[in-house]
Structure 1
């Protein structure tokens, strides 16, 4: 659920299937015995769900071990393709990665979260745990803070109340007053920074992608090791390149072409 409410009676069997799928996403290749030990569900219930999911090509079984099937890839690509800025955003991410040599991410806002849609790495050998499809708390990311900064007060208040300010590193902002001060600064300059707030030793700059009404619907971030992505390079050079790319996305979304 994305609205945090229970204004209806949920379908328990569907929720059980989703629990199993989420568990297998985190821990693929589990046996029925292992799932019975790890989930608070009856063995017979788990077995029925596994068989149903397998029969519908949503799970694969190898040597008695269950994992998510590649059919989910089709669902994911279909979901990503509905994002109105994906194609133009992907092109700008590729361009920024080539220009800067850094890792560049395209994200979408969905509900209370940021979802990683696409990345390009340039010449950077940097590897992190971030992956396409991953959902993250908005306040932990540069692009996420850029999105939060341009939400109306009612939606911002709702997200803060539902999700709180979860700490990822000792630099993550976990105080609401401090976050609000930073969001004001982000609105004033047009972009946000992530100074080791999501991953130790990683700095980033991010800016929002906004719809015609000005509402934030996504964003782009440029990130790299803190020992390189710092000073004027982080504070001025990368933001200038990032904002130019964001402007091209907005022009394309509104008028259909940047040329």
Structure 2
């Protein structure tokens, strides 16, 4: 949930977390490399690094800082609160095989979508796939639109205030009124559609995935290049296949919870 913390957030904490994230993303960085990435004095960056090492979140070898195994253990603890990767993979592979397109499942947190697992269909090629990411906006992704269409307008406003409506392609919706009109259509349809709004040539459909209590866990989407995925195919085929997969995944997640 997006909360307005205002000035209560601490800049020093943000800097430490930024350093930890950069070290993780680059699989190791030196002080000199971080000095080129962070707008802080080198001595300040070193203090952050030493604090993270003392807290056992980083290790240092031959001048290179890397994320510690302790972080991996913490991650495993967090993962236990989320779906089994095997259950998600099974549904995604079935959807990808059925459609011949790329299928993805993302987790909805803090107004963003975080990649959980993705798989490509039989017809997908390396040239067809968009650049891989780990995080996505809501306003220009199919699952993101579906999620926005289900939550109350006040929460949508908070998300848009925090993340904005950045343009990632020529077709990206950057006008709030236009977005809200699209969300009304999405709610009536039951799934979101993006037509080159995320990346040129990419068309996708997506829907929200819910927990047992009805709250939104994340989003399921399937899509591919525009020459294969057009509106007719979406209306006559992909939309229903997506919703069937969502129902299957939600049933599987409910079963997982019962057996835990």
State TM-score, norm by structure 1: 0.83
Q: Secondary structure at the match of 1:246?
A: helix
Kindly indicate whether residue 215 of structure 2 is the aligned counterpart of residue 194 of structure 1: no
User: 1:205-244 to 2 correspondence within 5 Å?
Assistant: 205-212=205-212, 214-244=214-244
> 1:155 deviation in Å?
1.3
How far apart, CA to CA, are the structure 2 residues paired with 1:32 and 1:49? Answer: 11
How far apart, CA to CA, are the structure 2 residues paired with 1:173 and 1:45? Answer: 40
User: 1:1-259 to 2 correspondence within 5 Å?
Assistant: 3-6=3-6, 8=8, 10=10, 13-25=12-24, 29-54=28-53, 58-59=57-58, 61=60, 63-69=62-68, 72-84=71-83, 88-123=87-122, 124-126=124-126, 127-131=129-133, 134-212=134-212, 214-253=214-253
> 1:188 deviation in Å?
0.8
Residue pair 2:2, 2:158 contacting (<8 A) in 1 also: no
> 1:49 deviation in Å?
2.7
> Which range is displaced more, 142-151 or 195-204?
195-204
Cα gap change, 1:125 to 1:14, in 2 (>3 Å):
same
Q: Secondary structure at the match of 2:6?
A: coil
Deviation per residue, 1:94-139 (Å, 9 max, x gap): 21122222111001111211111111113222333224xx221111
Deviation per residue, 1:21-65 (Å, 9 max, x gap): 233355555432332343222222222332443466644556534
State TM-score, norm by structure 2: 0.83
Unaligned runs of 5+ in 1: none
Cα gap change, 1:224 to 1:165, in 2 (>3 Å):
same
